[in-house]
Amino acid sequence: MKDSATAATPTLSKKPRMLLVGMPGADSSFYEMNIAQLPQGPRLHFLEWLFDALDMSSTNRRRIRLALKLENLFNPSRKTPYMGMRLIEYNLRDTLDISLMEYPKSNRWIVKHLKKNSDIAIVGMGIGCENRVYQAKKLCAEIRKARPDIKIILGSYGASSGKKLGVLTPADGTVLWDSEEEREEKKKKGLDFYKGEGVHDIRLWLRDVAGIDAGDPNTPLVSEAIADSGSTSSTGWKQWVKGRLGFVTMPKDSHKLVSAIGCSNKCGFCNTSKMFNREKTYLYKDAAKIFVPMETVYDRNAARPDYPPEATFFLMDENFMKDEKVMSACGMINFLDTAKELCGYIEQSGKNIHFGTFSDTRSLVNVREKDGDFKSLVRGGLTSIWIGIESHGDVFDKRGGATPEMVKSIVDELQSLGVVVIGSFIPGLPYHTEGPTQMFADEGLVKEEIRQSADLTPEEVESVFSELKKEREKSGRYDRLNIWEDFEWWKSLRTGARQVMSHSITGIVGLHKHMFRFSDYQFGHKFIPGYNESHIDGRRLEEIDEMMREGFYRENGPVALSSLLVMWQGFMNLKDSENDAEVRAATFNYWMVRRNIQRVMLASFAFNDRVFTKCSDTFLNRLATLFDQVGRYTPPDTAIHRKYQAVFNMYDQMNSSRSKAVAQKMADAFIRRHGKGIHETPVTGGVKEPAAAGIVV
């Protein structure tokens, strides 16, 4: 990632200079903002008792917990690149001299930089979240005061929301997004419109406003693999300290690769669908072109003696495996076919390339119906998949007829193969209540509607009603669903990672200002007073949201660890396979766990329930089983495994022998305390075999 120092270096160029800038103070942690919501660590018993004794407000409790940082103990934090800005830079580098400040220090720092670099003619401001709109407006005013000659353009979700609400006006800058009404008006006049996609819209703005030829705005975008920061180890004195503590580990490869922009689904809670007018822009015509940058990264990594032989990506596409044919700027495309072709390229290459992506349940149902299982995806490198599970019922019609039981079987099968399922769950849906669950809110009214629709006899009405009830029971449809029953089902899925996001009308859909007062910690499809559609009071829904996040932590443990448990499950089930690609997947999962296991052992003190809040016995037993097995099993002897081992040893030798002894002692104590039922059959020589054959669940 490019830092501020790089951005501040002036360059000699005749091309117009442009500064792309994120919002100062924005949370840069990918996991914290999207998946691993707090708590991801323990809470102190005595502190919670003190809160209760003082009858402290939830806001003050949260502030104290955040200050202690215990809730972040198991929260991997790394800066994630602004993918939209990276696409702009990559696609417009021949037209503009672009510099990036993705996470600037402050408004003042930006203004000072612009004063120092008077040749910067354009500022592009990415407002990623709606709660940053007023800050962005203030920054625009400060820039205007310091540099009245500069042109300001604003993009992303926050910018479109600010325009919709009338907070951001032409006096602040040009918002590169047009509402549906503006689009229709421009279409009538034969004009192009801003559609929220940065490269297209900046090309259009450069042509129509700045008078700069940047090519046809509809030119297909080009994407490249962007490395996440924090994917390499520290150096110098920090590395020495980490070694004394036993926290040195080999690097983990991590990249983002944008394969499509926008989404064609119609989920009312999501900004992406609305912002891009339910349209999707594909960046690749076929799998071969997606595979090229992936293979390039792998070949570079494999050539390094100090780096693990792997390349991992998260493919940015809201529904990568959607089974539908569409016409795009790249031509006719079916992304389910493309996804399967990509898996084929990865498998046939024999290279240790892996990826995660997004999908809906309907697409996964289609894969399993065609292939019989999900092994083809795993052999093709799939290691994580983000699924909008949302609720027991198919509220947004994205399951293709899959019942709740089928959803659970899909999650179970994927995770048995080591694929971490990231499940998103939505409390506060229109049918949620804290009252009783009802298949029909008013059975009499339903029966009367049936009778009137076909003039049926009472017996015929009862027969039709009975069939309707059976159909609803099978699909999990309700008029009223107790929110806590839904939560119990969510927990039972035991997804490796999860996201809780209270249902609300988001910024570019509803006209309101309340959400702009929220912090990054609170923001993310959160409850907004006056825009709650469920049968639960808004303030109560806010409480439920936090209770559910804590409930997930207690039941399934922190996301970082529950994800490792899924990976270990995949290793145990695939390590003895006769298929080379499945062995490769098992080896990858093994080393994902092995590189982190000592740090997890050292942090196991956080599960001491005499001091901290208790996690479930089921989770603690699964973690104890992992501690027991990780020292007893290894992958088959392959070239990839040997390279992993060599690189691991290179970094592990930096850890002090004392830290290793302490870690093992803590793990042994943890096993004794929580390892009830662990079968410890001693085995010797080679790859260790489990005491019982079969699938590990």
| 489-506 pLDDT per residue, tens | 999 999 999 888 776 543
Q: Are 225 and 256 in contact (CB under 8 A)?
A: yes
What band does 436 get if pLDDT is binned at 50, 70 and 90? Answer: very high
Taking 80 as the threshold, does the pLDDT of residue 156 lie above it? Answer: yes
What tokens does 271 get?
């900004």
What is residue 120's three-state secondary structure? strand
Terminal Cα-to-Cα distance of the chain (whole angstroms)? 39
Per-residue pLDDT tens for 370-408?
899 999 999 999 999 999 999 998 888 888 889 999 999
What is residue 382's three-state secondary structure? strand
pLDDT at 642: 97
In the chain, domain spans: 17-34+79-210, 569-674
Per-residue pLDDT tens for 567-586?
999 999 999 999 999 999 99
What is residue 435's three-state secondary structure? coil
Taking 80 as the threshold, does the pLDDT of residue 148 lie above it? Answer: yes
What tokens does 145 get?
């005061």
What is residue 346's three-state secondary structure? helix
pLDDT at 275: 72
Q: Rounded to whole angstroms, how far apart are CA atoms 328 and 545? A: 39
Instruction: Give Cα 679 to chain centroid, integer Å.
Output: 36
Taking 80 as the threshold, does the pLDDT of residue 118 lie above it? Answer: yes
Q: Are 276 and 219 in contact (CB under 8 A)?
A: no
Instruction: Give Cα 334 to chain centroid, integer Å.
Output: 23
Q: Are 602 and 666 in contact (CB under 8 A)?
A: yes
Q: Which helix (H) or strand (E) holds 357?
A: strand 353-359
Average pLDDT score over residue span 465-479: 81
What band does 477 get if pLDDT is binned at 50, 70 and 90? Answer: confident
Q: Are 171 and 136 in contact (CB under 8 A)?
A: no
pLDDT at 27: 60
What does the DSSP 8-state code read for residue 131? G
Average pLDDT score over residue span 641-663: 96
What band does 331 get if pLDDT is binned at 50, 70 and 90? Answer: low
pLDDT at 505: 43
Q: What is the average pLDDT score of the chain?
A: 84
Q: Rounded to whole angstroms, how far apart are CA atoms 562 and 279? A: 35
Supply the pTM of this predicted model.
Answer: 0.86
For residue 485, CA distances in Å to 63, 296, 347, 427, 435 come to 30, 48, 41, 11, 10
Burial class (CB in 10 A: 0-12, 13-18, 19+), 172: buried
Question: Of 325-334, 435-444, 460-469, 526-535, which gets the smallest average pLDDT?
Answer: 526-535
Q: Which helix (H) or strand (E) holds 547?
A: helix 538-556
What does the DSSP 8-state code read for residue 15? S
Highest mean pLDDT among 162-176, 455-469, 645-659: 645-659
| Level-2 CATH architecture, domain 17-34+79-210 | 3-Layer(aba) Sandwich (3.40)
Residue of higher predicted confidence among 52 and 448: 52
Taking each helix axis as running N to C, give the angle between helix 657-674 and helix 236-245, from 0 to 180 degrees, rounded to the nearest 10.
40
pLDDT at 4: 42
Average pLDDT score over residue span 358-372: 91
Average pLDDT score over residue span 616-623: 96
Average pLDDT score over residue span 651-675: 95
What does the DSSP 8-state code read for residue 616? P
Among 629, 589, 622, 591, CA closest to 604 = 622
Average pLDDT score over residue span 429-437: 89
Q: Are 157 and 125 in contact (CB under 8 A)?
A: no
What band does 512 get if pLDDT is binned at 50, 70 and 90? Answer: very low
Q: Rounded to whole angstroms, how far apart are CA atoms 538 and 540? A: 5
Give the Cα-Cα-Cα angle 461, 465, 471 (nearest 5 degrees). Answer: 150
Taking each helix axis as running N to C, give the angle between helix 404-416 and helix 361-371, from 0 to 180 degrees, rounded to the nearest 10.
70
Q: Rounded to whole angstroms, how far apart are CA atoms 568 and 416? A: 9
Taking 90 as the threshold, does the pLDDT of residue 194 lie above it? Answer: yes
Average pLDDT score over residue span 125-136: 83
Burial class (CB in 10 A: 0-12, 13-18, 19+), 168: buried
